[in-house]
Structure 1
Amino acid sequence: MNATRASPADPRHSPAAIAERILPGERRRGRGAATNVSGRFESQSREAFDDGWTRDEAPEPLATEVTIERPKSIITRNDSPDISFDRSINPYRGCEHGCFYCFARPTHAYMGLSAGLDFETRLFAKEGAAALLERELAAAKYTPAPIAFGTNTDPYQPIERQYRITRSLLETLQRVRHPLSIVTKSNLILRDLDILSEMGRHGLVKVFVSVTTLDRELARKMEPRAPTPQKRLEAIEALNDAGVPAGVMVAPIIPAINDSEIERILTRAHAAGAREGGYVVLRLPLEIRDMFREWLQVHYPDRLSHAVSLIQSMHGGKDYESQWGRRMAGSGPYAWMIGRRFEMAARRLGYRETKTALRTDLFRKPQAPVKEGAAQLSLF
């Protein structure tokens, strides 16, 4: 049998190199990333520099900045064979929850920003999203299928309280009876129970609440601005009580960090009413492979080598494999063990093995908006 060969040592992954990149604790208080390395498409790189003048001054906390974005379309399409949906909506770019492991972090490079602290402090809100959605649903060739929310960034992250873009999208989907699924870490979703419960009665919505750990201290380190594990379990219960099917996502499973909790999370979520569940193993695309090591260096330096070794054992000796079918579950003995543990616990507890299908036959296509020029011609 061929032994798994690890990737050549990267000088960026030496303890000294990691320590040099990590920002002082005061600079990143309340945030998930430990660094703010320049985006990979930038021609110039930036790094912290101590000139001796500010070392005795208390640093200002990193504030959240929101930029209004005016996209030309709102539904994103995909044809990935290992994803259960072919269309999705993300009302925001970036996410204030600050989950260090978020696989969407590298997308901030397309905005000329860092996947580190920029991703959780420099956010973009998609203005006019509901109007765009209605226009796209009204297209002559549009056929309904469930739209997935929360595939990249959380639709119920803290700025949704102010901007309410997610709610405006739900109002549109409710009016035309279009199915959707939602993945979130936030109990803010309970604000929209009036819409979701009505859609639930018609088989038009289901929700998955992501529960990564039951340990409050670990959750604060992993997801500093996301609601506590208990609040997420309460959200699962409240949603199911209101007639909104709500399951649990044990995601991501991180070797040597939260992999021991799979059975406990499934048990607590089942007690809260969850009957569907899923899991995803930690993914380390692009900048996330460095951020994972930085996070471990800050919080669990004694587990760094072991955690990285287990990750690489699931990806043929590499930090990450992008192949369909392997990127979210991994391969090899350790990945197999995680999969079997999840399946056995889910079966023992009574989780459904067949996923609930959402209805598409109730869809009522909205009327296509009249173009301004056409409206003027109709007057003559």
Structure 2
Amino acid sequence: MTLADSHRAVEAVWRIESARIIAGLARMVHDIGVAEEFAQDALVAALDEWPRNGVPDNPGAWLMLTAKHRAIDQFRRRDVHERKLQQVGHDMELRQESAEAELDDALDDHIGDDLLRLIFTACHPVLPTEGRLALTLRLLGGLTTEEIARAFLVPEPTVGQRIFRAKRTLADKKIAIELPPPAELPARLASVLEIIYLIFNEGYATTAGDDWIRPSLCEEAMRLGRILAGLMPAEPEAHGLVALMEIQASRIPARTAPDGAPILLLDQDRSRWDRLLVRRGLEALGRAEALGTLGPYGLQAAIAACHARALTPEATDWERIAALYRLLAHLTPSPIVELNRAVAVGMADGPARGLEIADALLDERALRDYAHLPAVRGDLLAKLGRAGEAAAAFERAAGLTRNARERVLFLDRAAALRGEPESGGRETG
């Protein structure tokens, strides 16, 4: 095996195993930053040894064992631990054996518990959203600082600072690496689900830059969602989020033209939708429904399922989608939900009714700089034959978006409404 091959093997194993290793160590050393350092030490050792000795038969176990040895060495040197052992009258040899046995036993506990603790700690509400996003991708996704920076189009030092501050905040505030008490679980679970879906959304509809989608971020979010659903099988919203992400991700192959230009949902070639992801998403939705009343993610998944089940745009059950949006708006009122409801109502009951709902949002502070409000209005105005107003709305949307391809879409729609040549962008919702 060449040096490059062994390094690729190390990177692949690290991406899969790092969260499990860090999770096991973190509970013992009570500090995510220290746990990550031990895990990184094991990674460095692998980069040194594997090119010379070959990749071990069980590389994940090799990394875990190496990291455990680093932790044991540190554990031996801890003065506090030695003083505690001296108080109970053990001799030095027994102290060391006891420490090693205690650490080995703890690290060999059911790994699912450790991963769940790590997920809830990385997504702790005490951290700002940016810190939770970066820390989750670093610890649970195994992404490097450079990869996270590239995904979110921010400087690498900025991401590094976010991760550093997040770990320092957890340490300074003495946030225990444990599951929240039952009374806090719903709020804390909501934070975890939000972070995973924010990661997915940034991949599915990139907020800035030249790319319309970043499939790698979608895949990472789906992987984290599946882990969470597997660790919390009785939580309907965990399955609802998986269903939502997988059904939406099924459209990715059809969302862009060969030149990268986005394609509208109703213009997509549905034969290119990933039917395996659709099936998996519908199965996850079924699990969520079997567990009780659907929550916000489950309802959004049910909306996505209406599109997935329609083999043609004309077969879409817009009445059901509008009804589901009414339920969602009742459950979690927000201007964004209302805007989406305007689109669905516009399709189900006509553009005039949809425009009425959209116009009621014009004074919403949260949507003041949101490009999709004028874009939705532009589409509804165009359907009503009000071309001049529609063109102006799309031009305003183009001025608000930070995504280059989305800007092309809006300007092309405006140009078409004014009878001017388009630049060639075909973009989506």
More helix by share: 2
Bigger relative contact order, structure 1 or 2, given CA contacts below 8 A and separation 6+? 1
| Same structural fold, with TM-score higher than 0.5 when normalized by the shorter chain | no
TM-score normalised by length of structure 2? 0.26
Higher gyration radius (CA): 2
